[in-house]
Structure 1
């Protein structure tokens, strides 16, 4: 019997970053190109972990899209749900190692994905062999039309009894079309079974209360307690939701990075091991890797603590990888997660 697939829906982006001095080709080629986009990163991770996954996006009908699709298929991702429309692939420019809140520029206006409208995607066909639908808050941040497409998608998935997961990615450079996130996201979150983000994005996107003075406490126990409080508030506000995960990453003095997470499910709060390192190769895609890890554990019906440990180890490991998507395999992630 063929296992049903995870469907990841969102915009594929090409990322351009300056080459570092350690790159041998830097003198000849000062810029490096990566395949990006949060939902594509999730699909890439899941395919690498032997979860059947397909990716739905919109790409122009040109030679560059053919190369992109070839690459996705090479990674083991099903691409039959990619539609051809519009005239360009979205791009973003990112300084090496930079946080997405830092040195980053979007060039995605009038991209194929951003021009999607309701009625364009045949959701009945796309969701036919799917048991899980994943999307992020980045898509509805683009414009009202794409927000409407996301609502169309979660309504269709919900009618089919498909598990729906949402990453509360907040991008302040988006949300420029006259709507605040809290005007749009709660309607989408109401359809979701799994919600992942952090206590601050839950506040910005869903209107969940956050303690503005939490940083003053400088306490892991206080952050994890707030994680549980936020999760309970989300589940109370959106009763369909059964699992909420919150991540915490702190950049300390020098290059010190501290990372841990919390997850609330089955009326119990779980905390991950604490990970720390000196320096980061690439911050981009770490949260996507965590989302993929959550889906991996829940899809395979792993115990909650094991699921959280796996997702956290995967996200932390991604910080030491160049590019947007992880290349870690299950053994590597599991070993890191159980070594703590």
Structure 2
């Protein structure tokens, strides 16, 4: 089966084998060694010298952790959005009482950096900026380095959703002055859902000391205190730690630059292949993602039928559109454990399935 959705992604055999290990004491020395090992390797991929924590939960849980650990009810937050997950980030902040200023752009179009600067210039009380590095819902990557340069010009906190980019697309956390970066285990890390990984800058810790939003399970102070003992505050997803320790070895052995290049090449092959079938890309191709390709559904194609034929006849699973893009696009995930041969087989199946999915 070719699982080509933007997550969960296929697990390599080494990860599956690692997860088959017996349980261990999560308060014992053996788990402490694994936690320290995984944390050290994650810092290399995050490209940070700051703290990195592993939280048992989904990527959205990590986004919530970023909010509640750095903000107080009533704080003004600029939420930059050009897709479903950008909107979700703002919704989480609003749910905890932040005053969210929504800077929304057309889905699939680039963030206007001048608009970001003007919004920050217009309201000096803004405390933090929420940004999505890779917008999974539209298949595009935002210019995070450029966004950061604008945000830091005004000395604001930068909280980043990098759930579907980190480990696949270059994101130098420290060089881009990202205060919180969030990712999820089921994406480019090649292990099952269940862990959110977050980096915390020194500036974020300063904000944390003043933050008044309610928090308990997601409290970074608890995570830091327990990490110094080689533990997590709560019972961790031990099997996923086993797998992640293994896949991080695979990633570091391949090398970050080679990983980024592989994803860029696979993405380019995907985009070229889709266009060769007479299909068009949803986002501005200049900003097309290297982890997920979003494709417009032609008027003469039944998208439900297309997905069914791909799954049942060719063992290829793709993702549909989300929210206002439901029925209008489909998405091909190509992150983590993926190579050009995988995409070649997906495109071949897509070519055949399109003929069978035409509306009568």
Same fold (TM over 0.5): no
Structure (1 or 2) with the greater helix fraction: 2
TM-score of the two chains, using structure 2 as the length reference: 0.30
Larger relative contact order (CA 8 Å, sep ≥ 6): 2
TM-score of the two chains, using structure 1 as the length reference: 0.31
